[in-house]
Amino acid sequence: MKEKQMFTVIFGRPGCPYCVRAKELAEKLSNERDDFNYRYIDIHAEGITKADLEKTVGKPVETVPQIFVDQQHIGGYTDFEAWAKENLNLFA
């Protein structure tokens, strides 16, 4: 039986150090695991506004990255790192 694929979406922007760290963590997980995949979305390049992001998240958004795993909002980078440690046995 094939394991369920986890799909992560990271909404970020250029020049954001936490966005870079989130992308690096997602890349590491993607390389180490067969059941993890991700997509990074540059909100500036895609023309996504703060209001668009808030609609997607369902609450006010002050910072990026905003990260979703399987369409469930996880939060920012530190939330994503904590989620990975708890759910994927990540000890980075």
Active-site residues: which are they?
Answer: 13, 15-16, 18-19, 23, 77
Query: Would you tell me how many other CB atoms lie within 10 Å of the CB of residue 22?
Result: 28
- The 3 state secondary structure assigned to the chain is CCCCCEEEEEEECCCCHHHHHHHHHHHHHHHHCCCEEEEEEEHHHHCCCHHHHHHHHCCCCCCCCEEEECCEEEECHHHHHHHHHHHHCCCC
